[in-house]
């Protein structure tokens, strides 16, 4: 299923819902393939979101073509729509972080899974989750620890969070007015977008956050900062909503990536076409 095939904002959110038979309830999960496909700007810049080879049809998507693909962007990492890095669920609507998927606008975000627990020491990516740590950052240098030992008392210094890839996906029917009034987009970026041709809301589109539009793309990552990463949506338990970095660019016909319509039928699924093709070939 893709967004083009009749899936509007309400239907897109439903694709993230999964029923757990053992408890008889349906929960919101961070995974769906509804946004799979090629997305292009009017200028011809394209991004393809496809399923990962390692996870088959389990719902894990990644950027398979296009994208920033810089040292710190995490382009090509598997993507999730909420901060469920350590669990399979996004939580109830009245709990946890401010992920668009949990709201009512119809839009949702996609972020690298690794971004929720990774940080940087110089050019080396380290992991901040759990008590077992194989390395930590000291004055900006990587220091190895004893393998399999607990290091809960270690305090990193010189470590930083860097801005990773982030997408905002808007199915047809997304409430853009609500996103704008809620302050999701950077104010200056929104003012610039309003001077441009309006986005075509009759087509699914996504916004790809552009690190080049920001003056600051890294921030301190340590115990004192409560390991709050402002380049991701508010997680509900560290930092603050006001400290989250706003989205740039804001949506306009020039800035968004529209889902590319596939107008060609999949001939391999049409039995009649196969028969006719075979007959036609044998007649020559």
Q: What share of the chain is helix, strand, coil (3-state, %, to 5)?
A: 15, 25, 60
3-state secondary structure of 113: helix
On average, the pLDDT of the chain sits at 82
pLDDT of residue 240: 85
| DSSP H or E segment with residue 177 | helix 176-181
Residue pair 66/44 in contact by the 8 Å Cβ criterion: no
3-state secondary structure of 101: helix
- Token pair belonging to 136: 């930590």
Placement of tokens 């038979």 in the chain? 21
Kindly list the distances between the CA atom of residue 221 and the CA atoms of 218, 232, 238, 255, in Å, as whole numbers in the listed order: 9, 13, 12, 31
Where residue 54 falls among pLDDT bands split at 50, 70, 90?
A: low
Average pLDDT over residues 21-37: 83
How many percent of the chain have pLDDT more than 70? 77
Domain boundaries, the chain: 9-120+162-282
Q: State yes or no: pLDDT of 276 exceeds 50.
A: no
pLDDT of residue 84: 60
Q: Which of 31-45, 93-107, 250-264 has the lowest mean pLDDT?
A: 93-107
- pLDDT tens digits for 77-100? 999 998 865 556 776 544 567 899
pLDDT of residue 17: 78
Residue pair 68/96 in contact by the 8 Å Cβ criterion: no
Residue pair 237/83 in contact by the 8 Å Cβ criterion: no
Where residue 144 falls among pLDDT bands split at 50, 70, 90?
A: confident
Cα–Cα dist 9/215, whole Å: 33
């Amino acid at each position: 299923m893709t967004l083009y095939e009749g899936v509007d904002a309400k239907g897109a959110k439903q694709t993230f819902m999964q029923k757990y038979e053992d408890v008889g309830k349906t929960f919101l999960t961070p995974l769906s393939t509804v946004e799979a496909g090629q997305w292009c700007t009017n200028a011809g810049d394209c991004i393809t979101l496809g399923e990962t080879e390692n996870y088959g049809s389990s719902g894990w998507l990644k950027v398979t073509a296009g994208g920033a693909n810089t040292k710190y962007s995490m382009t090509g990492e598997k993507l999730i729509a909420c901060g469920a890095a350590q669990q399979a669920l996004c939580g109830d609507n009245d709990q946890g972080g401010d992920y668009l998927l949990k709201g009512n606008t119809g839009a949702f975000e996609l972020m690298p899974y690794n971004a929720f627990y990774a940080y940087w020491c110089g050019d080396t990516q380290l992991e901040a989750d759990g008590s077992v740590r194989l390395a930590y950052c000291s004055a900006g240098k990587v220091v190895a620890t004893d393998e399999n030992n607990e290091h809960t008392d270690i305090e990193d210094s010189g470590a930083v969070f860097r801005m990773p890839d982030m997408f905002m996906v808007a199915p047809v029917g997304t409430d853009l007015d609500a996103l704008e009034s809620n302050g999701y987009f950077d104010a200056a970026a929104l003012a610039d977008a309003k001077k441009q041709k309006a986005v075509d809301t009759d087509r699914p589109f996504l916004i790809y956050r552009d690190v080049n539009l920001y003056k600051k793309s890294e921030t301190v990552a340590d115990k004192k900062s409560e390991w709050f990463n402002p380049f991701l949506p508010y997680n509900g338990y560290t930092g603050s909503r006001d400290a989250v970095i706003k989205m740039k660019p804001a949506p306009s016909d020039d800035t968004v990536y529209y889902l590319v319509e596939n107008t060609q039928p999949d001939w391999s699924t049409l039995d009649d076409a196969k028969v006719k093709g075979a007959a036609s070939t044998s007649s020559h």
